[in-house]
Amino acid sequence: MTETLASFEPFPEPPALILEYIAERSTEESVAAGGPAPWDLGALSAELIEPMPVWLDSVCRWLNRTYAWQPQDVIPPCWMEHEGLAYEIAALAFAREDAYTAAGSSVVWHEQYDRFLTRMNKTLGKAGDECRVGRHDDRPARFQLAAWPTIKSGETGSKERVKEMAG
């Protein structure tokens, strides 16, 4: 029994640069204090975002090896091409770091992971099966999103314009 427990893989460590940023961000007199949260991928500088894909991919692989017993629980290899998933995976990875400071909070993290799987499957929809076997297609809603009208700077949101946008 002990041999089985000894074979558990540790959760992947965040990149050193990110750990330094987190430590810097937590000091009150730091320039980074008040900077973007490290899980807010779209707000990170190019320097901070650069090591994230490799780490987050190792997190996805760890989650898949550790928890994905059913096909619908597998995070697809094209997770980076699903922007919403990338944000959620980053938040989940950083939340796990905090969660393992107390047993009760680790239970909450597992509940968050379960809700993540629900949202991931909703996001992927029918395309998820294809993505999980390496056949990623463009975003299914791309045509609907392309039809969204562009509002120019200074343009008002009149009732007529809202009705026009609603179809």
- Cβ distance 141 to 89 under 8 Å? no
Establish if 1 belongs to a structural domain: no
Compute φ and ψ for 76, nearest 5 degrees: -70, 155
The closest alpha carbon to 93, from 108, 109, 80, belongs to 109
Establish if 5 belongs to a structural domain: no
Establish if 139 belongs to a structural domain: yes
Establish if 65 belongs to a structural domain: yes
pLDDT for the residue 148? 78
Establish if 150 belongs to a structural domain: yes
Give the pLDDT confidence of 55-109 residue by residue, as tens digits. 999 999 999 999 999 999 999 999 999 989 999 999 999 999 889 888 889 999 9
Domain that holds residue 16: 11-166
Cβ neighbours of residue 121 under 8 Å, at least 6 residues apart? 72, 128
**To 5 degrees, how large is the angle CA 121–CA 124–CA 128?**
90
Establish if 89 belongs to a structural domain: yes
The number of folded domains in the chain is 1
* Residue 166 reports pLDDT greater than 70: no
Residue 154 one-letter amino acid? G
Establish if 4 belongs to a structural domain: no
pLDDT band of residue 33 (cuts 50, 70, 90) is low
pLDDT band of residue 127 (cuts 50, 70, 90) is confident
Which position has the token pair 């922007």? 83
Q: Where are the beta strands (DSSP E) in 92-141?
A: none
C-alpha dihedral sign at 67, 72, 78, 82: negative
Establish if 96 belongs to a structural domain: yes
